[in-house]
């Protein structure tokens, strides 16, 4: 048990290290004035979604990304501030990651990247306000506020990170993921890991709005 936990910590640390330099460089290149806390949030976001299990949710048709409108509905109908905050955070995080890393694919969808930017900025803006109502969320209020007001700028940062890592070529990523799922290919898994993605067992993935 100790060995497994130690290995997991090493993996998580290496993923964060992988993105830290790229994000810091992109922030500088984009001339974005952002707090260290917001930059750290961005690094952690990329590290979290490096595992497809964190980005995709189970559905009858296999793993998929829940439409932003449904996430917003869940937030508005949440029975408590705590649950509302979690739903708003999920909405903002997904919108930021997809619009920043997979923006090319959105150009071929019914909704474009501006929809994701609007929804994500709205989510973080609301979260900045509701976070002040709970002690355990209060410390992140300013971070969410900055993410909300500068959402499009943070998308630019992720665009650059995606360009540097190859993550924006989502068709190739999805193809690698499909090959790994269907065949268990070690080569495909290795390529995914080099892109900063930790594959998990599941069915074919999909992207919805």
Domain coordinates in residue numbering, the chain: 2-207
Give the SS3 label for residue 62: coil
- Output phi, psi for 86, to 5 deg: -60, -40
Higher per-residue pLDDT: 170 or 157: 157
DSSP 8-state class, residue 102: S
DSSP 8-state class, residue 131: G
Residue 174: alpha-carbon gap to chain centroid: 16
In DSSP terms, 65 is beta-bridged to 207
Q: What is the mean pLDDT of residues 137-153?
A: 96
Confidence of residue 186 (pLDDT cuts 50, 70, 90): confident
Return all residues near 21 (Cβ < 8 A) that are at least 6 apart: none
Handedness of CA 42, 48, 50, 53 (dihedral sign): negative
Give the SS3 label for residue 116: helix
Confidence of residue 167 (pLDDT cuts 50, 70, 90): low
**Tens-digit pLDDT profile for residues 58-94:** 777 767 788 899 999 999 999 999 999 999 999 999 9
What is the structure's pLDDT at 53?
78
What is the structure's pLDDT at 1?
42
198, pLDDT greater than 80:
no
Provide the phi-psi class of 4: left if phi over 0, else alpha when psi is between -120 and 50, else beta.
alpha
DSSP 8-state class, residue 51: B
Check if the beta carbon of residue 42 is closer than 8 Å to that of residue 150.
Answer: no
């Amino acid at each position: 048990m100790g060995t497994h936990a130690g290995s997991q910590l090493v993996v998580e640390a290496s993923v964060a290290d992988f993105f830290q330099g790229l994000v810091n460089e992109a922030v500088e290149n984009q001339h974005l004035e952002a707090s260290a806390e917001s930059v750290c949030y961005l690094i952690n976001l990329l590290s979290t979604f490096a595992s497809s299990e964190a980005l995709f949710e189970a559905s009858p048709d296999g793993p998929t990304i829940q439409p932003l409108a449904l996430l917003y509905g869940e937030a508005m109908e949440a029975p408590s501030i705590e649950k509302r905050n979690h739903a708003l955070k999920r909405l903002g995080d997904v919108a930021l990651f997809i619009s920043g890393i997979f923006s090319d694919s959105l150009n071929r969808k019914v909704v474009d990247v501006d929809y994701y930017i609007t929804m994500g900025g709205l989510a973080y803006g609301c979260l900045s306000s509701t976070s002040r109502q709970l002690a355990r969320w209060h410390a992140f209020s300013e971070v969410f506020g900055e993410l909300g007001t500068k959402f499009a700028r943070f998308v630019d940062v992720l665009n650059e990170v995606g360009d540097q890592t190859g993550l924006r070529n989502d068709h190739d990523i999805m193809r690698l993921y499909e090959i790994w799922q269907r065949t268990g290919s070690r080569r495909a898994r290795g390529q995914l890991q080099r892109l900063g993605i930790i594959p998990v067992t599941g069915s074919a993935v999909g992207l919805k709005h």
